[in-house]
Amino acid sequence: MAGDGGVRVRRVYEEPAGDDGARVLVDRIWPRGLSKDRAHLDEWCKDVAPSTELRTWYRHDPDLFAEFGRRYREELTEPGRAAALAHLRELAQGGVLTLLTATKQAEISEAAVLAELLRG
């Protein structure tokens, strides 16, 4: 799924596109059944991923997405996550950045929240 500007969100299971730019996995857990070769990643930035507690609470429930986004943005102010977010900002400034996630609904994932922050 292409986004506005140079930040895109896609599922990691999709075939890479020629215009993906830097491909960065933003999930904390490695995608099930996917080899590192097939992932075609430039980076795995698991430090930017939401906490296990937040992911467990959220369960990718569309009704909880707004609150998930609020809580996740709060987590992104923590030192380790803030540094990882700053790194993603640098990558986005350098060209196209594709944020990858294994979730079935990328539009309600941490990657979507990150893309919105990076575009803003």
Give CA torsion, residues 37, 72, 90, 17, to 10 deg. Answer: 40
Write down the pTM of the prediction. 0.93
- The torsion angles phi and psi of 74, rounded to 5 degrees, stand at -65, -45
Give tens-digit pLDDT for 82-104.
Answer: 999 999 999 999 999 999 999 99
Q: What is the pLDDT of residue 1?
A: 39
Check pLDDT > 90 for residue 5. Answer: no
CA–CA separation, 76 and 70 (whole Å) = 10
CA–CA separation, 39 and 37 (whole Å) = 5
Q: What is the pLDDT of residue 120?
A: 85
Q: What is the pLDDT of residue 2?
A: 40
Give CA torsion, residues 113, 106, 108, 46, to 10 deg. Answer: -50
Mean pLDDT for the chain overall? 94
Structure token pair of residue 34: 């996917």
Closest CA to 45 of 26, 65, 62: 26
Give tens-digit pLDDT for 23-53.
Answer: 999 999 999 999 999 999 999 999 999 999 9
Whole-angstrom distance between the N-terminal and C-terminal Cα of the chain?
A: 18
